Structure 1
Amino acid sequence: MALLREIQGYIRSTGMKPTVFGRAAVNDPRLVTDLKRGREPGARLSARVRAFIAAEGGR
């Protein structure tokens, strides 16, 4: 899952907690946990997450 790797890289580089990231990016504090458990993100969700990371300065 490329999206999960991107999120984990961002979280690692910023020190942001996964729940804080999920809430800030897509208003879902369980996002990262759910992705780790196999949740398949749709195109819109992936785009929103990537837009958030880009707006915050990437990694």
Structure 2
Amino acid sequence: MLLPLIETFLRQNDMPPTRFGRSSARDPRLVFDLRRGREPGARLTKRVEHFMNTYRRSQGQ
């Protein structure tokens, strides 16, 4: 599941959900929608995972 990965990422990087959504998918409500049950498609999942991996590399994690 994608949401637990995002929640961990947010905690580890002290990032607000709106910033994450805007940066990863151009959707500031993304995390809130996922928390309410939105099911991401494969394309969105790949996009978000790519963002998290790229961000971690840029931060030296």
TM over 0.5: yes
- What residue is the counterpart of 1:18 in the other structure? 17
Relative to total residues, which structure has the larger helix share, 1 or 2? 2
SS at match of 1:56: helix
Which structure has more RCO (C-alpha within 8 Å, separation ≥ 6)? 1
- What residue is the counterpart of 2:36 in the other structure? 37
Matched pairs, number = 58
TM-score (norm 1): 0.93
C-alpha deviation, 1:55, in angstroms = 0.3
Give the gaps of 5 or more residues in structure 1.
none
Superposition CA RMSD, Å: 1.2
Q: Which segments of structure 1 move beyond 3 Å, counting only runs of 4 or more?
A: none
TM-score (norm 2): 0.90
Q: Who wins on radius of gyration, i.e. which is larger?
A: 2
Task: State the percentage of identical aligned residues.
Answer: 50
Give the gaps of 5 or more residues in structure 2.
none
